[in-house]
Chains A and B, each alone.
Chain A
Amino acid sequence: MKNRLILLAIIVMIAGCASWKAVDGGIHSETYCVEVPSGWMKFDAGAYVMISRDGPYLQYVLFQERPLERPFLNARKRLTADMLPQEAAQIIIDDLSSDSMVANFTVIENAPAVIDDHDGFRLLFRYSDPKGLTLKTAYYGFIQGQNYYSLRFTAPQRYYFDNDIDVFESMLSKFHLVAAR
């Protein structure tokens, strides 16, 4: 019986933790690579990669690559290859502010940015989640070819955001698109 319980506990642990792995040096996808400091864990969902050091509810960085034609979840709008960064930023804002799970959405900053030599944008915004926690996000996005890339850092506004924003900005400077094969 004891052995069975131990086995059951191990299965539960494996099921719960299998997706999170230690980030070993960095993230290397087919289209981009980024250096990540040690101590962070990675969750690769296919459509995006999420990393966190202390757990996603305390802070997470999300790297996402999406084809332009893929519709957004909330705002029924699409990005196009000829969009100005400002227009792309507006679509992201519209999508986020139309999300029913997001409350008190406030854009603090919306400005042009350069990410790995690509013209893009930087958004800084805060919102409340369904549990009433106020979260803050630094969001970078740019369009390259037929894909849209986004890198965002989200953490509770109080303490955690300021604590790790520099780490995220440093990751951002080490983000590179891999040349098309």
Chain B
Amino acid sequence: MKSVGWLWIFWLILTCLGTAAAADEQFPRDPSKHDIQALMEAARADEMRLEQSDALYRDSKLEAYVNQVAMRLVATVPEKGGGFRVKVIKDPHLNAFTYPDGFCYVNTGILARLENEAQLAALLAHEIAHYVNHHAVNGIRRLQHQPDPAARDLADKDTASSALVPQSVKCTWSGYRHEAELEADREGLKLMMRAGYNPYEALRLFEHLAEEMAWEKYYEPLFFGSHPRLQTRIEKCSEFLGSIDPTRGLRLYGENRFGFMLRDVILDNIALDIQAGRFDQARQASERFLATYSDDARVYYLLGEIYRQLGRDRDESNRAESFYKRAIDLDAGYPEPHRALGLMYYKAGQSQQAQPYLEASVLLEPNAQENTYIRNYLKRIHSRDLRQEQFAYKKK
């Protein structure tokens, strides 16, 4: 009986191993129609979930503009690029990814870092190259059938709406081989040139990514893979660019339009950076924004938030105070800087200064969630005043 039991276990192990081996043997080298269909269905399901969630950055004008740039690039490969479409995701990290069916998702983080339309074109051209060369399909298949723990680990570290886009897109992010990235870079540069964009701006995109990597230290946006790879990619792109004629009349398209279209997303992304505690990134983006738009109340409020939340010394608190005041000067009907300034004074025990700002914030935004706190503070200020009055009266 004893030996029969062990034989059973031995048989079970052999069966499992045999099945796995057989499955591997039978799997075709190239993705079959069935694979592709399954991937497309999974992609569509993910896209549906994204569409129904609050993860998308919903700005129809921005989306239309980004898609116009994409279409200019796609027009140079009409036979392959059909179906490519771009959506924006609320996420401050620098990332972009494309589903096998051509739906490309670009994070606000990377959009907000771009300086001109040619850099946007560089980003989109890279994604289009992945799409037209079916890198996602091949990458997903590779990840499914030749599990790569490092790639999976990278996918798990990524923060872009992981709860919403579980497996298929994670594979898309992590599944590209190094060769596929190089191919997408090279093809992307060609697409840019064919569409009339200056391909040298692609190098600037790499600089943004390298800068982000230095800031983040441990976190690596999957868009550019690991650090040594990034260096190789920069070298390969530079090599390619060295071989083209720089006097070819390549230019940047619609710079004014670019600035106008990205104005709101930059501010919204600064708020996301602050929310995630990415204060260095938020501060740099605010300062860059200020260089162009020096009369925007919101950027002063956001700078105030950065310095208030950092609050490491008196100097930072003073800076926060002056930025809030500047925001109020520019827009007296803006409730947030009123509320923030009132709180700063209240916390510092300066009730007299706090009171008018707190009252104004409640008046300006009567339905704000924070008003329950503000009313409490005001109640305390009033009762303190009353006690002081009573004390003064008794003294008399």
Contacts and interface: CB of A to CB of B under 8 A. Distances in A.
A125 to B, nearest CB: 11
B4 A100 contact: no
A74 B373 contact: no
B278 interface: yes
A4 B2 CA distance: 10
A7 interface: no
Contacts of A4: 5
Contact of A98 (B1, B55, B275): B275
Given A104-B53, A112-B376, A94 B276 contact: yes
Contact of B277 (A1, A75, A106): A75
A86 B161 contact: no
Contacts of B54: 103-106
Consensus secondary structure, chain B interface: loop
A100 B276 contact: no
Interface in B128-160: 158-160
A49 interface: no
A112 B373 CA distance: 6
Interface string A100-138: 111111110111100000000100000011101000000
A130 B162 contact: yes
A63 to B, nearest CB: 24
A103 B55 contact: yes
Contacts of B275: 75, 94, 97-98
Contacts, number: 73
Interface string A71-114: 00011110000101111000000100110111111110111100
Interface residues of B, number: 29
B5 A1 contact: yes
A106 B369 CA distance: 12
A74 B4 CA distance: 53
A85 B380 CA distance: 15
26 contacts: A1-B4, A4-B5, A75-B277, A76-B276, A84-B346, A84-B373, A86-B343, A98-B159, A100-B158, A100-B160, A103-B53, A103-B55, A103-B161, A103-B163, A105-B54, A107-B369, A110-B369, A110-B370, A110-B372, A110-B373, A112-B376, A128-B163, A129-B163, A130-B162, A130-B163, A132-B49
Ranked 5 nearest A-B pairs via Cβ: A76-B277, A1-B5, A103-B163, A100-B162, A100-B159
Interface of A: 1, 4, 74-77, 82, 84-87, 94, 97-98, 100-107, 109-112, 121, 128-130, 132
Given A75-B275, A84-B343, A128-B163, 13 more contacts: A1-B2, A75-B276, A75-B277, A82-B347, A84-B373, A94-B276, A100-B160, A100-B162, A101-B163, A103-B53, A107-B369, A112-B372, A121-B373
